[in-house]
Chains A and B, each alone.
Chain A
Amino acid sequence: MSVGTPRGLASSGQKPIAEILHPLSAAAEPLSVTVNLGGDKEAGLTNGTPVETSSPASTSSLFNRLQLDDDLEADVRDPYAETTETRDLFVTVSDPKKHVSTMETYITYRVSTKTTRVEFDLPEYCVRRRYQDFDWLRIKLEDSQPTHLIPPLPEKFVMKGVVDRFSEEFVETRMKALDKFLKRIADHPVLSFNPHLNSFLTAKDLNKRQGLALLTKVGESVKYVAGGYKLRARPAEFCAMGEYLDTFNQKLGTIDRIAQRILKEQSEYLTELREYGTVYSSWVGLEDELRRPLEGVAGCVTTCCGALEDLGENMSQDFLPVLREYVLYVESMKNVLRKRDQSQAEYEARLEAAILRKQEDRTPMPLEVEKCQDKMECFNADLKADWERWQSNKRQDFKQLLTGMADKNINHYEKCQAAWESLITLLQDKQTEDKSSETN
């Protein structure tokens, strides 16, 4: 299959690494054969969808790419919205399983894929992956597409003793983060066509060693880029990005601290509230007439405790991980910015050298300078596109996150309110009952 051609179409930023990628896509070929065997088994078990389904889809996905290309050439306003409408690759991470062997204990997750793309031989795949496989994928993506923003993975290292790596909450949170990671890649117009993603989603066994050999190769080129050139003047828009990221990162940190502090205050409040309820309960035993009101109050306090507990759990499971993801996202983004700066610096240095030489012997501009310029421009274009996409994603994510926070708080208050209101109804009924029995 011709993986290379559509990739070239998908982004202008593909050219400089095309040379490196060609042997890679060739290497991926035998990989995908083994993959297909494994994939056949998995998919064949779930449903035997015929391969033909991929043919109408191929036109649609091609259309999608072409359309995106138009967008890139024109003004990229909201690439996110475009991709959501014409999505053709759906990835889900679910069903974590613990594996215990003599050597190690680890968790694997089910990665299910549904697609209509021609690059995939089957419409559905289902594989199991562990964290380090995701890590491998991310490294591969970063190396093969250095001009693009690669979504972050959840932190690899957790403080031992503080966090139980095999606890349900931890695994659940990590699974959600991994799911987000893959979805972001699958929705990306360039990254989603990366052959490494393909093998990650489809291969029965990931041949990571092959990847390693490649890694060293690409790593060299990265190092080469990293060779210190001094940047002259960064274009204003990239300066603005850098500044934005710094401030945004700082605000994220503050929001994270506030959220954690609130959780702490709430959990302490919960402790006291529980005791408060207990005291009301212990009062019940002393009274005859006040029995019901006191029991009622104790009951309401208990209900409120439950509501508060839910609120805290929801916030720590849904709110904090998103903040963390964005903190890591900022890191990735900064990393790309840095690499862009380096490519600009390299170009400027080479250009300067060439101009000097030109003055001496009037030779035409050497090819390598042009290549550097191409590379830088490709960096700029990719980064800008990714930036727009990221901003758009961020806006959606934070909108969802913050309205979610409001909803959770509203929900908590509603539960408490309902409890207290039912108590009042109960007590007022009792009072009118008493009054009517008195008059009778």
Chain B
Amino acid sequence: MMMADSGSNEEVAVIVNTDITSTESENNLINTMVERGTALLRKMEINVAEAEKRTGKNTVNMQETYTVYLIEIRPAETVPEGGTPATPDTLWRRYSEFELLRTYLLVTYPYIIIPPLPEKRAEFVWHKLAADNLDPDFVERRRVGLENFLLRVASHPVLSNDKIFFLFLTEEKGWREAVLETGFQDKVDSRLKSLSAMFRVKNPDKRFTALKHYSDELNTVISQLLRVRVKVADRLYGVYKVHGNYGRVFSEWSAIEKEMGDGLQSAGHHMDTYAASIDDILEEEEHYADQLKEYLFYTDAVRSVCRKHELIQYELEMVAQDLVHKKQQKEELATGTVRIFSLKGMTSKLFGQESQEQRESRLAALEQSIQEGEEILKEKNTECGEFVQTAWEDIERFKEQKDKDLREALISYAIMQISMCKKGIQVWSNAKECFNKI
């Protein structure tokens, strides 16, 4: 974990150089979900400004359509009144490149809860919402999500200093090669293999067990919430849209009435307005769903840290167990007693006693390997301790971030509901005025 830090120190210097002044980036911060005043964000402003559809040939020479996102960075400085801000540096990235960046971060920083990417495919969508990956609304929501991801990484005390991340923002070409050069993929493979193997930790850390349990439950509750919200949105959409039929029938009815005609006709228009208003309301609510989704995906990141802790713990326990075993062997060899039935004991009995020299050399070898084992155990212990310490630090940070974000999300949801009520009251009051003229 330290190597990443040391590697990026130079980069920080570079960033400082490109910067002119400024510690104030307050005005430039778009996303309120990201904490302010952290390393990279203090020095540069990051935007995912726009998305563009492109067509090209993929690796298997098949024609494909994909979306690229324009990343803009510019030094964060307070623009003088009336002055023009510095021209941003821009580059295009595909979603898959964001994915690669995230995988890299995930492997390189196992003790950090890596911010999740926006969903690859639209999930938990109510039926009126297009589920197509190239749908403009989906692309727009993803653009916001990707920007949010970059801001989260850039504001993270550790991740913001990563060299590869900086290159991702600044070097359009050659970035992929630079990532692959780090050799993180080898680590992925070996780690994944061990992860897939069934293992059971003997002395699990209670804090991590609890955290894992919490993230499982949070995952369940948020996905349930999103599922129900979709149904709620669907029904609400129905309620509003059916009101639109009043618009038509009032207008038709007004044609056969004398005194009532005008009132009905204009009330009909208000019913049309009412029916149409739901589109904006639900689109706005989609932002709330995205905020919840981010935390749904965050639960996976949390679980991943827990798994990695388990893995390290497991390795530590294996080393310890191995050492105990070796020490036991040594004792047997030294005292000549075989406490436990073993194949070696059997063979020695069957094929006669080994010579003194043989015994001594074996004893020395064991001694050697025990010493090595002690070393490894010590290392593993330190590694594990460090992991727990750094990971817990990040977990604490995450918890704080989560409480703050979700609280704000809930408040903004309540504000949305209020605005929906106000809109409803407005439209019905207008309609009532018309009905009164009947």
Which residues of A line the B interface, CB within 8 A? Answer: 244, 247-248, 251, 254-255, 258, 261-262, 265-266, 268-269, 272-273, 275-276, 279-280, 282-283, 286-287, 289-290, 293-294, 296-297, 300, 304, 395, 398-399, 402-403, 405-407, 409-410, 412-414, 416-417, 420-421, 423-424, 427-428, 431
**Which of B225, B243, B414, B428 contacts A279 (CB under 8 A)?**
B225
Whether B415 pairs with A417 at a CB distance below 8 angstroms is no
- Name the A residues within 8 Å of B217 (CB-CB): 286
In whole angstroms, what is the CA distance A158 to B181 when docked? 80
Interface residues of B in 247-269 (CB under 8 A from A): 249, 252-253, 256, 259-260, 263, 267
- Name the B residues within 8 Å of A254 (CB-CB): 245, 249
- CB-defined A-B contacts under 8 Å, sample of 5: A261-B242, A272-B235, A275-B228, A398-B260, A406-B432
**CB of B308 closer than 8 Å to a CB of A:** no
- Name the A residues within 8 Å of B225 (CB-CB): 276, 279-280, 283
Given A247-B256, A269-B235, A300-B414, answer yes or no on A276-B228 (Cβ-Cβ < 8 Å).
Answer: yes
In whole angstroms, what is the CA distance A57 to B152 when docked? 85
Q: Is chain B's binding surface mostly helix, strand, loop or mixed? A: helix
Given A269-B232, A410-B432, A417-B422, answer yes or no on A399-B438 (Cβ-Cβ < 8 Å).
Answer: yes
A5 to chain B, nearest CB (A): 37
Whether A417 pairs with B421 at a CB distance below 8 angstroms is yes
Whether B260 pairs with A395 at a CB distance below 8 angstroms is yes
**Which of A248, A272, A280, A413 contacts B425 (CB under 8 A)?**
A413
In whole angstroms, what is the CA distance A424 to B411 when docked? 6
**CB of B403 closer than 8 Å to a CB of A:** yes
Which residues of B line the A interface, CB within 8 A? Answer: 214, 217-218, 221-222, 224-225, 228-229, 231-232, 234-236, 238-239, 242-243, 245-246, 249, 252-253, 256, 259-260, 263, 267, 403, 406-407, 410-411, 413-415, 417-418, 421-422, 424-425, 428-429, 431-432, 435-436, 438
**Which of B224, B259, B267, B410 contacts A395 (CB under 8 A)?**
B259
- Name the A residues within 8 Å of B228 (CB-CB): 272, 275-276, 279
Given A251-B252, A420-B414, answer yes or no on A258-B245 (Cβ-Cβ < 8 Å).
Answer: yes
**Which of A273, A297, A407, A417 contacts B410 (CB under 8 A)?**
A297
Whether A402 pairs with B438 at a CB distance below 8 angstroms is yes
Instruction: List the A residue with the shortest CB-CB distance to B260.
Output: A395
- Name the A residues within 8 Å of B414 (CB-CB): 296-297, 300, 420, 423-424, 427
**Which of B214, B260, B263, B411 contacts A427 (CB under 8 A)?**
B411
- 7 nearest interchain CB pairs? A406-B432, A269-B235, A417-B421, A289-B403, A402-B435, A413-B424, A399-B438
- Name the A residues within 8 Å of B231 (CB-CB): 272, 275
Given A269-B235, A293-B410, answer yes or no on A395-B438 (Cβ-Cβ < 8 Å).
Answer: yes
Whether B242 pairs with A279 at a CB distance below 8 angstroms is no
In whole angstroms, what is the CA distance A420 to B419 when docked? 10
- Name the B residues within 8 Å of A282 (CB-CB): 221, 224
In whole angstroms, what is the CA distance A114 to B267 when docked? 39
- Name the B residues within 8 Å of A286 (CB-CB): 214, 217-218, 221
- Name the B residues within 8 Å of A266 (CB-CB): 239
In whole angstroms, what is the CA distance A403 to B414 when docked? 28
In whole angstroms, what is the CA distance A62 to B410 when docked? 69
In whole angstroms, what is the CA distance A294 to B413 when docked? 11
Whether B238 pairs with A265 at a CB distance below 8 angstroms is yes
A440 to chain B, nearest CB (A): 19
Instruction: List the B residue with the shortest CB-CB distance to A262.
Output: B242
Number of A-B contacts (CB under 8 A): 146
In whole angstroms, what is the CA distance A423 to B253 when docked? 43
In whole angstroms, what is the CA distance A248 to B243 when docked? 19
In whole angstroms, what is the CA distance A414 to B424 when docked? 9
- Name the A residues within 8 Å of B421 (CB-CB): 413-414, 416-417, 420
Whether B403 pairs with A406 at a CB distance below 8 angstroms is no
Known: A409-B424, A413-B428; 12 extra A-B contacts, CB below 8 A, are A251-B253, A258-B246, A272-B228, A272-B232, A273-B232, A275-B231, A276-B232, A297-B414, A399-B435, A406-B429, A420-B414, A428-B411
In whole angstroms, what is the CA distance A407 to B73 when docked? 52
In whole angstroms, what is the CA distance A279 to B267 when docked? 38
Instruction: List the A residue with the shortest CB-CB distance to B252.
Output: A251
Given A273-B232, A283-B221, A283-B225, answer yes or no on A293-B242 (Cβ-Cβ < 8 Å).
Answer: no
Whether A269 pairs with B438 at a CB distance below 8 angstroms is no
**Which of A244, A258, A279, A413 contacts B256 (CB under 8 A)?**
A244
In whole angstroms, what is the CA distance A247 to B249 when docked? 11
Instruction: List the B residue with the shortest CB-CB distance to A405.
Output: B435
**Which of B221, B245, B431 contacts A406 (CB under 8 A)?**
B431
In whole angstroms, what is the CA distance A293 to B403 when docked? 10
A279 to chain B, nearest CB (A): 5
In whole angstroms, what is the CA distance A428 to B253 when docked? 49
A380 to chain B, nearest CB (A): 21
Instruction: List the A residue with the shortest CB-CB distance to B226.
Output: A279
- Name the A residues within 8 Å of B245 (CB-CB): 254, 258, 261
B237 to chain A, nearest CB (A): 9
Whether B407 pairs with A268 at a CB distance below 8 angstroms is no
In whole angstroms, what is the CA distance A275 to B230 when docked? 12
Whether B425 pairs with A410 at a CB distance below 8 angstroms is yes
- Name the A residues within 8 Å of B410 (CB-CB): 290, 293-294, 296-297, 427
In whole angstroms, what is the CA distance A96 to B421 when docked? 38
In whole angstroms, what is the CA distance A364 to B338 when docked? 147
Given A251-B253, A254-B249, answer yes or no on A410-B428 (Cβ-Cβ < 8 Å).
Answer: yes
In whole angstroms, what is the CA distance A405 to B218 when docked? 42
Whether A269 pairs with B238 at a CB distance below 8 angstroms is yes
- Name the B residues within 8 Å of A279 (CB-CB): 221, 224-225, 228
In whole angstroms, what is the CA distance A228 to B224 when docked? 69
In whole angstroms, what is the CA distance A427 to B246 when docked? 39
In whole angstroms, what is the CA distance A205 to B129 when docked? 66
- Name the A residues within 8 Å of B256 (CB-CB): 244, 247-248, 251
Given A265-B242, A395-B438, answer yes or no on A293-B428 (Cβ-Cβ < 8 Å).
Answer: no
Whether A265 pairs with B235 at a CB distance below 8 angstroms is yes
Instruction: List the B residue with the shortest CB-CB distance to A261.
Output: B242
- Name the B residues within 8 Å of A405 (CB-CB): 435
Whether A406 pairs with B428 at a CB distance below 8 angstroms is yes
In whole angstroms, what is the CA distance A340 to B234 when docked? 51
- Name the A residues within 8 Å of B259 (CB-CB): 395
Whether A262 pairs with B428 at a CB distance below 8 angstroms is no
In whole angstroms, what is the CA distance A300 to B416 when docked? 13
A283 to chain B, nearest CB (A): 5
- Name the A residues within 8 Å of B224 (CB-CB): 279, 282
- Name the B residues within 8 Å of A258 (CB-CB): 242-243, 245-246, 249
